[in-house]
């Protein structure tokens, strides 16, 4: 989630029209602890659960922005657990890379590939830049929405329904759904990476792993001190993700 709900709500509309049975069963929104971000997320939750009969969960990160390695690591761990949970249960996962910062977007493409999401999508909007100003205006009446009791949420939603609908649901002509490719990662390949990282962490590395270690070193997951391999903070993070 970013500070403006339109990119996510518009993408949800698009996905609902292309998924099997035309129905999304679950929507998982990841938001920072920023008031505006949480208000946007809970407004989408209220709208989607009322319109699409889908269950929407909001996951709040500890910080107000994703702008450091630690912030990205938390985002990856939360997102990774969600994707793995559904994939391991045979549920088709569609990843949204609309909204939020570029580090979050790239992280979701990485996780979607790593854990076997089905597809990933982004939206391109045309001629609706005015929605930013419109959202700013309507948001003045919705501040604190995520903390409102359900009855007050309903009252606020009803009072500004037309404006909210205009913000959350741009016309189809103004929205282009763009598929973003995911890299197909097999279970065996993921397991090999996991075993190599775990081996390096414990000091037990197989000589058969030289090629994988070379690639991991090139990408910054592994470094050497003399002839001994060590995990960098990226390598430790990847190991954490693979171990769930």
21-80: per-residue pLDDT in tens?
A: 778 899 999 999 999 999 999 999 999 999 888 999 999 999 888 889 999 999 999 999
Q: Stretch 177-183: mean pLDDT, rounded?
A: 93
Q: Judge if 144 and 193 occupy the same domain.
A: no
pLDDT at 227 over 90: no
Q: Judge if 46 and 126 occupy the same domain.
A: yes
Domain residues for the domain of 41 are 6-180
Alpha carbons within 13 A on the beta-carbon side of 4: 20
- This prediction has a pTM of 0.90
Domain CATH code at residue 208: 1.10.10
Q: Stretch 159-187: mean pLDDT, rounded?
A: 92
Please count the structural domains in the chain.
2
- Structural domain contains residue 1: no
pLDDT value of position 152: 96
Q: Judge if 64 and 126 occupy the same domain.
A: yes
Q: Judge if 155 and 191 occupy the same domain.
A: no
Q: Judge if 237 and 210 occupy the same domain.
A: yes
């Amino acid at each position: 989630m970013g500070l403006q709900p339109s990119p996510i709500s518009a993408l949800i509309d698009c996905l609902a029209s292309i998924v099997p049975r035309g129905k999304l069963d679950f929507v998982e929104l990841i938001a920072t602890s920023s008031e505006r971000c949480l208000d946007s997320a809970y407004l989408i939750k209220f709208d989607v659960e009322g319109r699409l009969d889908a269950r929407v969960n909001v996951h709040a990160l500890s910080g107000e922005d994703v702008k450091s390695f630690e912030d990205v690591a938390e985002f990856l761990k939360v997102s990774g657990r969600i994707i793995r949970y559904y994939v391991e249960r045979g549920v088709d996962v569609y990843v949204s890379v609309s909204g939020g910062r570029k580090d979050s977007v790239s992280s979701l493409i990485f996780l979607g590939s790593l854990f076997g999401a089905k597809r990933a999508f982004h939206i391109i909007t045309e001629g609706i830049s005015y929605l930013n100003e419109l959202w700013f205006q309507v948001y003045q009446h919705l501040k604190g929405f995520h903390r409102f009791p359900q009855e007050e949420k309903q009252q606020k939603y009803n009072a500004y329904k037309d404006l909210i609908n205009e913000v959350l649901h741009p016309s189809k002509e103004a929205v282009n759904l763009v598929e973003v490719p995911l890299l197909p990662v097999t279970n065996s390949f993921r397991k090999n990476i996991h075993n190599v990282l775990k081996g390096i962490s414990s000091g037990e590395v197989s000589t058969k792993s030289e090629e994988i270690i070379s690639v991991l070193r090139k990408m910054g997951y592994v470094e050497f001190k003399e002839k001994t391999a060590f995990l960098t903070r990226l390598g430790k993070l990847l190991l954490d993700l693979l171990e769930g």
